[in-house]
Amino acid sequence: MELRTFHHHLLQGFMLLSFISNCCARFVVEKNSLTVTSPEKIKGTHDSAIGNFGIPQYGGSMAGVVVYPKENQKACKSFGDFGISFKSKPGSLPTFVLVDRGDCFFALKVWNVQQAGASAVLVADDIEEALITMDNPEEDSSSAKYIENITIPSALIEKTFGETLKKAISGGDMVNVNLDWREAVPHPDDRVEYELWTNSNDECGVKCDMLMAFVKDFKGAAQILEKGGYTQFTPHYITWYCPQAFTLSRQCKSQCINRGRYCAPDPEQDFSSGYEGKDVVIENLRQLCVFKVANETNRPWVWWDYVTDFQIRCPMKEKKYNKECADVVIKSLGLDAKKIEKCMGDPDADMENPVLKEEQDAQVGKGSRGDVTILPTLVVNNRQYRGKLAKGAVLKAICAGFEETTEPAVCLSGDVETNECLENNGGCWQDKAANLTACRDTFRGRVCECPLVDGVQFKGDGYSHCERENQDFICTD
């Protein structure tokens, strides 16, 4: 067991390395500008790097007063323990807390500062280096609890700039700054192009759960934006390739399709049971083809329905993560199953798959966008999105991508409604004769839930069947 785990990690390391060394992974830091407006002697604009959590105010800016705490300067402990609060008095400027890098996760620092009532966090680097992105700790369930609740924005600043700020503060100056996200997303025209690098794997822990929750929550807004022609959305999926020398190994055979060309890690990290990496690659490929086929018929938004329905109806836990279940979802959404199968090609063939090849090529960064190596990644107008993957925050970033005055109403009101049940009953269960349907339009897109009729709750999956709980009055066919 130990050895297998070791080999597994080793192999994943190889897959990663072979990808990176092949195309020199480039990671672009999204900068937003930080301007010191007073005191006069340190006035000026500096780069800062947006953190991968919290809610950046895309399209807006925030002015505040910088405070450097006398104790707990790395913010690894709760400020309450030191009797420190950063709550600003009503009517005064928001408080930006300056903290030092080191000793604990970035996200924990930001959480501690938020708990103490501040409005934003500046983390001063502790070494001279180019700015990096502050990321979430990987797969840590204790931090997952607070990361979800981080709402204040944060940014990393360079060591020397941090020292300049500290010196001014300790000298008794009131330091005013302005953190500006208005140029964080390019906004050249009246259509926003955005892409989500995602994964169909529903058993990878905290990150997968967050991604799935986001897709479900964002679906309604995404579909309205797409139907209105305001956005052009493209889903993407990361795959690795198996190094040549390993293509015949058991690991590569179980994790890859097309003879080692396209691989994904084993979902349970266990080769001997459950689903294999290649099952994930195949479902990812199917989802890409669902998008392609839906897009060809000018209904690209059906992808959101497919992926959310697949999550609900075909989970790994219930051993339904397979083609049979996928086909039922495809059919319910009125998609052309033959075309999708043709698009997917033969996973056993010793040749490139054009759809996945295109995805691997797209993983390599171009222009202002770095390589995509982490999941999930959201790219808006070719800029990597930073911040929490949550509906409101993402909508803000997308809305910041429209040329001023061309923003669609959903950006201005946040009022989102869908009318998906009107078309093909939303792919949900229905009983035409009795005029009953499981389709219900909601703020978050349509859901398939068995109806409540005259006080009787119908039971079933909402997709293929619903029936009256009290069976006495049932007539079939």
Binding residues for ligand NAG, rule: CB under 6 A, are 145-146, 149, 234, 292, 295, 300, 435
Closest distance of CB 248 from ligand NAG, Å: 33
* Residues β-bridged to residue 31: 49
Cβ-based nearer residue to ligand NAG, 52 or 112: 112
- Supply the minimum distance, in Å, between the C-beta of residue 289 and ligand NAG: 11
Strand (E) positions, 410-449? 430-431, 436-437, 439-442, 445-448
Which residue number, 193 or 268, has a Cβ lying nearer to ligand NAG? Answer: 193
Q: Which is nearer to ligand NAG, 13 or 80 (CB)?
A: 80
Q: Given the complex with ligand NAG, which of 56 and 451 has the nearer CB atom? A: 451
DSSP 3-state of 97: strand
Per-residue burial over 206-216, b = 16 or more CB atoms within 10 Å of its CB, e = otherwise? bbbebbbebbb
Nearer to ligand NAG, 214 or 275 (CB): 214
Shortest CB 111 distance to ligand NAG, Å? 8
Q: Which residues of 365-374 are buried (b: 16+ CB within 10 A; e: fewer)?
A: beeebbbbbb
- Per the structure block, which two tokens stand in for 402? 């429209």
Q: Do you find a cis peptide bond into 376, omega within 30 degrees of 0?
A: yes
Q: How far is the CB of 146 from ligand NAG (least distance, A)?
A: 5
Token pair in block for residue 419: 């009318």
Q: Are 336 and 285 in contact (CB under 8 A)?
A: no
Which residue do the tokens 């999941």 mark?
Answer: 375
Tell me whether residue 43 or residue 145 sits nearer to ligand NAG (CB atom): 145
What is the DSSP-derived secondary structure letter of residue 50? E
Q: What is the Cα–Cα distance from 309 to 325, expressed in whole angstroms?
A: 10
Nearer CB in complex with ligand NAG: 14/146: 146
Q: With beta carbons less than 8 A apart as the criterion, state whether 123 and 157 touch.
A: yes
Q: Judged by CB, which is closer to ligand NAG: 241, or 303?
A: 303
Residue 392 CB, shortest distance to ligand NAG, in Å, is 14
Q: How far is the CB of 296 from ligand NAG (least distance, A)?
A: 7
Q: How far is the CB of 5 from ligand NAG (least distance, A)?
A: 31
Q: Nearest distance from residue 67's CB to ligand NAG, in Å?
A: 23
CA 316/CA 42 separation, integer angstroms:
57
* CB 292 to ligand NAG: min, Å: 6
Q: Give the separation between CA 359 and CA 381, rounded to whole angstroms.
A: 18
Within 10 angstroms of residue 10's Cβ, the number of other Cβ atoms is: 11
Q: Is 61 left (phi over 0), alpha (psi -120 to 50) or beta?
A: beta
φ, ψ of residue 32 to 5 degrees: the values are -125, 155
Q: Which is nearer to ligand NAG, 269 or 295 (CB)?
A: 295
**Residue pointed to by tokens 């050249």:** 188
Please compute, for residue 228, the number of CA atoms within 13 A of its CA located in the half-sphere on the CB side.
21
